[in-house]
Homo-oligomer: A and B are copies of this chain.
């Protein structure tokens, strides 16, 4: 997800992903929620948890231990109660949780959501017998060799927590798949795990471009309100579904084409066009800017830009005339550099991924799929064709040739031009 920092705290329509997940669980069931988190953002997680009743936080010391480590980290809290394992990075509908929570089958020791897929997906497939009991979980089978149409989705209810924990402790895999290995061991030893097919929304937030889909999904669930504390000019045009928060100012000649979320205190200035985008709090979408299909966090400033199919973190500004390219000349899929390898985004429309605290100069051109990491200053009039590491100051080589001007600035032709205006 780099340079996007901690996706769990990405705000969607004024609420962070982690808050949305807590509220999802609370809407589906009662009981204690334990968030297992790494040390890096403990303050923020604790603050978030404290807003809710019955939500506690446990630190996972070694993140390499994956889900297994996470569950063992809260062994004492779980005790012997049934436990629902849920990954905060998967966006699902409440229904997915209800399917496992409300299942009455007393034979089942564990209930596992199998997300129905209609085409091949490189995930873990559930192999089931004719009664729906899981026999195996097959990671990334070759296409055509899938044992079912169900992907293992981490919405797992384990009634016998003690057995789960005992099995987790026994696994000695060196990979981060200890949890999955433990599940398989449990199946082998006779624990009955039932697959429940789920055909609803599932959006893993794994790559930055998933943020766009998540916005659209969360937006669709929100009530569409234009705050009475916002100022909408008579000469502005608003169409489609929009949420406009308190103290937003939409100026003369601004256009908003929904679905759009405009966060608190943001300004949509004269001749700006915002369409199908998420604008966080305290942003300024300046004169003659187009923001299309993009996610902007808080305090993003634009001015006569085109921001298309991009993800922009907070406290970023763009000088006038700076443009995010979002379509290759050959219109092929946009490739993003992931650990030195080109990764296909599976879309031919994708722009910039920008970390926080970045300043762009004027008239700069950013190529599709480029990542600019946090704390960078990018100069004026540049072409940025590759990723820029964090804390960079980027300039071009300026070589001006200054000669004597032997012509003079004539106004002759201008009277004719003006007559036609």
| A20-28, A179-187, A215-223, A354-362 - the one binding chain B | A354-362
Across the interface, name the chain B residue whose C-beta is closest to A392: B402
In the complex, how many angstroms separate the beta carbon of A257 from the nearest chain B beta carbon? 8
Q: Is the CB of A407 within 8 A of B330?
A: yes
Query: Does A412 contact B235, Cβ atoms closer than 8 Å?
Result: no
Residues of A bordering B, CB below 8 Å: 235, 237, 239, 249, 251-253, 255, 267, 269-271, 273, 282, 284, 287-288, 290, 299, 301, 303-304, 306, 308, 315-317, 319-321, 323, 325, 327, 329-331, 348-349, 357-359, 361-365, 367, 375-377, 379-385, 388-389, 391-414, 417-418, 421
B391 touches A401 (CB 8 A): no
B404 x A392 contact (CB < 8 A): yes
Q: Name the distance in Å between A230's Cβ and chain B's nearest Cβ.
A: 14
- Decide if A381 touches B365 in the complex (CB within 8 Å): yes
Neighbouring B residues of A382 by C-beta, 8 Å: 381, 400
Residue from the list B253, B404, B411, B412 in contact with A253, Cβ < 8 A: B253
Smallest beta-carbon distance A247→chain B, Å: 11
Q: Which residues of B contact A385 (CB under 8 A)?
A: 398
Question: By the criterion CB–CB under 8 Å, are A405 and B391 in contact?
Answer: yes
B-side contacts of A393, CB under 8 Å: 402-407
| Smallest Cβ-Cβ distance to A410: which chain B residue | B331
Is the beta-carbon distance between B329 and A359 smaller than 8 angstroms?
A: yes
| B-chain residues with CB within 8 Å of residue A412 when the two chains form the complex | 331
Contacts of A401 in B (CB 8 A): 394-397
Contact of B380 with A413 in the complex, beta carbons under 8 Å: no
B299 touches A377 (CB 8 A): no
Residues of B within 8 A of A376 (CB): 405
* Bound complex: CA A48 to CA B368 (Å): 43
Alpha-carbon separation in the docked complex, A402 to B35 (Å): 40
Interface contact A273-B273, CB-CB below 8 Å: no
User: Is B325 a contact partner of A362 (Cβ separation < 8 A)?
Assistant: yes
Question: Which chain B residue has the least Cβ–Cβ distance from A266?
Answer: B418
Whether the pair B287, A273 counts as a contact (CB closer than 8 A) is yes
Is the CB–CB distance between A363 and B323 below 8 Å?
Answer: yes
Give chain B residues whose Cβ lies under 8 Å from the Cβ of A290: 287-288, 304, 320
The 9 sampled A-B contact pairs (Cβ below 8 Å) are: A301-B414, A317-B414, A325-B361, A348-B413, A364-B381, A375-B408, A377-B409, A391-B404, A392-B402
Known: A251-B421, A414-B301. A363 touches B365 (CB 8 A): yes
Which residues of B sit under 8 angstroms from A383, Cβ to Cβ?
363, 379-381, 396, 398
A287 to B308, CA, bound (A): 12
Is A267 in contact with B411, judged by CB distance below 8 angstroms? no
Supposing A315-B411, A348-B413 touch, asked if A271 and B288 sit within 8 A by C-beta, the answer is yes
Residues of B within 8 A of A317 (CB): 409, 414
A340 CB to closest chain B CB, in angstroms? 17
B365 and A361 contacting across the interface, CB-CB below 8 Å:
yes
* Residue from the set A316, A363, A385 with the largest chain B CB neighbour count within 10 Å: A363
Measured between beta carbons, the chain B residues less than 8 angstroms from A287 are 273, 290, 306
